[in-house]
Structure 1
Amino acid sequence: MQQATETYDERLTAPRSWWVIAFFVGISCALMLLPLGTLPMLGGLIGGAALASVLVSSYGSARVRVVAGSLVAGQARIPLTALGAPEILDPEEARAWRMHKSDPRAFMLLRSYVPRAVRIPVTDPADPTPYVYVSTRTPERLVDALTR
């Protein structure tokens, strides 16, 4: 029996408050269609809430994994051999790297509702990306998986 090669897996799900907002978007759509009657109002409620829920779900479906010698962050798959020593960023430092310290060439999988992050320099000389910035709720576990 073969062992799983995945050492880290995290889904950056949207916070619960965003789901409440999606529900209120549905209510807003229903109120806009209220003058047209009951059926359009129900359609607006269902359609508006469904559309907002799809948007919240797709934004919150970002995944961070370390699997088979690669860091998989969202749609990017980066071999661990092309990465340097990872650095855990506390909330203040993570905010600085999202703002004034950021480099436009960097690959950033960031979620504003996740306060901590890991910054990993890219050591491949052929790659113009200076570093990878990844939002994570468990930076210690991610760094452990990257350095194993």
Structure 2
Amino acid sequence: MSAPEPAQPSPADSPAPAFRERLSPGPAAWCGAAGLGVIVAVALWPLAHELSFVMGAVVAVGALVALVATAPVIEVAGGELRAGRAHVSLALLGEVTPMATADEMRTALGPALDARAYVCLRAWARTGVQVQLDDPLDPTPYWLLSTRRPAELAAALRP
């Protein structure tokens, strides 16, 4: 008689993430995508009236889909920090600095930016968090992440 296989954990069994945010576009980006569709429709109007409406709608929907599909997820779960496609163990994280104002984030992205830093930025999320890395094997000094909820992300990253 064979021994039963151990049960594989299902997604329902895994604990909820301590923090999860999709950096979805804001209202200005949605309006920009719709505006792009209008521009295409107006540009094609002299060539074919019916086609201009169809192509304008296709371009607007395509731009909206592209904005949503490329929106990264910032997540703290399973002992890791994930930002887009990158991930790092929470054990390798050092000091966490929330940037609650756009000015703080602008300074961190401008004159204070280290070229070796990992940056997960979306212009429509104007606040963020800087997370130092304590990994001697990684040349990346810190991660700079956009988030609309910097205090919550910082709290989820602190032990």
TM-score w.r.t. length of structure 1: 0.91
Give aligned pairs, total: 147
The aligned residue for residue 44 of structure 1 is 55
Mapped contact 1:5–1:68 kept (Cα < 8 A): no
Match of 1:64 in 2: 74
- Contact in 1 for aligned 2:100/2:150 (Cα 8 Å): no
Distance in 2 (CA, whole Å) between partners of 1:40 and 1:50 is: 15
- Per the alignment, in what secondary structure is the counterpart of residue 45 of structure 2? helix
Instruction: Establish whether residue 11 from structure 1 lines up as the match of residue 22 from structure 2.
Output: yes
Give the superposition deviation at 1:136: 1.2
Q: Please, which moves more after superposition, 112-121 or 43-52?
A: 43-52
1:83 matched to 2:93? The reply is yes
Q: Hey, what does 2:6 align to over in structure 1?
A: none
More helix by share: 1
AA aligned to 1:63 is V
RMSD value over aligned CA atoms?
Answer: 1.6
Find the aligned partners of 2:94 and 2:115 in 1 and give their Cα distance: 19
Q: 1:54, CA displacement in angstroms? A: 2.4
Q: Please identify the structure whose Cα radius of gyration is greater.
A: 2
The Cα shift of 1:122 comes to 0.8
- Contact 1:94 1:116 survives alignment (8 Å): yes
SS of match in other structure, 2:112: coil
Question: Which stretch of the first structure deviates more once superposed, 40-49 or 63-72?
Answer: 40-49
Residues 71-130 of structure 1: CA deviation (Å, up to 9, x unaligned): 001111110111102111232221111111101110011122222111111110000001
TM-score of the superposed pair, with normalisation by structure 2: 0.85
Give the CA deviation at 1:47.
Answer: 2.0
Q: Deviations over 1:4-61 (max 9, x none)?
A: 15211111111012111211111111111111222221222122212221232234x2
Written as runs of structure 1 = structure 2, the 5 A alignment for 1:1-148 is 2=13, 4-59=15-70, 61-91=71-101, 92-148=103-159
SS at match of 2:46: helix
CA deviation after TM superposition for structure 1 residue 2, in Å: 4.2
Query: Where in structure 1 do 4 or more consecutive aligned residues deviate above 3 Å?
Result: none
Aligned residues: percent identity?
30
